[in-house]
Chain A
């Protein structure tokens, strides 16, 4: 049982790390602000989500798991809203304004 959970953790966290890597490549390579934001939000949602999912079996007790999930939810919330605000600023003032 523990082995199965460990395998689950390793594969989920690895998948999360892959998304972080892909998002970082996107941040560096994409041509303009809006597409770069797109790459970043994918990382926040999927990458961190997969890492949290992978770490859940390793937590001690219910509260540890709840803390991890609420961290993911808070990052989702702030990430989505800050992205909206940056995108709004880009639309209003242009990419260098």
Chain B
């Protein structure tokens, strides 16, 4: 047994233990912390599988972003005291049976893989040079599975609409209820002044390098969202109201440019979401940059939560 397989087995045991503990633990806060650790461990597992793109996304979205959303949910639950009445036995039984069915279905899907694994890998590696990209993952995302990638971004906006819909009618289009810790000249202010320039450069780098090495729009967008949230939480910039035209424009600019280039492909190339030959890389980079902006704004607003106040006139 080599030292790396010892490491892998240890990692798997750790992931399973943390995964089980997030389910078993009674307190919601501890469960969320467990979930964040679980996300970070999964990221290491993806690195071990040489899927650095997935690892970056898992660390950024699975560990960081989702963790922050769930921490927000826990904080809300603490204030909103629910009814303490326990659910009736039949309901609990039904929930248990349904969960067991889902788990069984997943187990069957995982334990009986198909004989020939459907893969795009050989095709992508053969034709990657044509697109001008160096990163096979970016090749799959933007050339072979472009429609999936487009729909993914649209789903993000739908999720944001879902969050906004939680606001009562009177504050629709108002200011999200992000908790702001505005204490002038605190250490947080210092961090919020020092870190964003670095973070913005890192985000642009991640987006740009995504064409030939691991990275891309989602990873860059998450860093961008984190920087924006940091500045808003420190009170250096006020939280914008969700009815601002520029905000809504930034939200849709990525998917809109993606869709426009896709539609242009019907005329200039052969099919929807096809790129005219020779321009593939330039177009993909343009899509990636606008998507990074849109993803950053969408994730920031998701974390900021539903509107709670009306804008002061």
Contacts and interface: CB of A to CB of B under 8 A. Distances in A.
Interface of A: 74, 77-78, 81, 84-85, 88
Interface string B171-215: 000000000000000111011001100100000000000000000
B198 A81 contact: no
Nearest to A83: B187
B198 A74 contact: yes
Interface residues of B, number: 8
Nearest to A87: B187
A85 B190 CA distance: 12
A78 B191 contact: yes
Interface core residue of A74, A81, A85, A88 (most chain B CB under 10 Å):
A81
A74 B201 CA distance: 13
Nearest to B188: A85
Contacts of A88: 186-187
Contacts of B188: 81, 85
Contacts of A78: 191, 195
A42 to B, nearest CB: 19
A21 to B, nearest CB: 15
Nearest to B190: A81
17 contacts: A74-B195, A74-B198, A77-B191, A77-B194, A77-B195, A78-B191, A78-B195, A81-B187, A81-B188, A81-B190, A81-B191, A84-B187, A85-B186, A85-B187, A85-B188, A88-B186, A88-B187
A8 to B, nearest CB: 20
A78 B230 CA distance: 12
Contacts of A77: 191, 194-195
Contacts of B186: 85, 88
Contacts of A84: 187
Contacts of B190: 81
A77 B197 CA distance: 14
Given A77-B195, A78-B191, A85-B187, 11 more contacts: A74-B195, A74-B198, A77-B191, A77-B194, A78-B195, A81-B187, A81-B191, A84-B187, A85-B188, A88-B186, A88-B187
Q: What are the 5 closest A-B residue pairs judged by CB atoms, nearest first?
A: A84-B187, A81-B191, A81-B187, A85-B188, A85-B187
A84 B190 CA distance: 12
B166 to A, nearest CB: 28
Contacts of B191: 77-78, 81
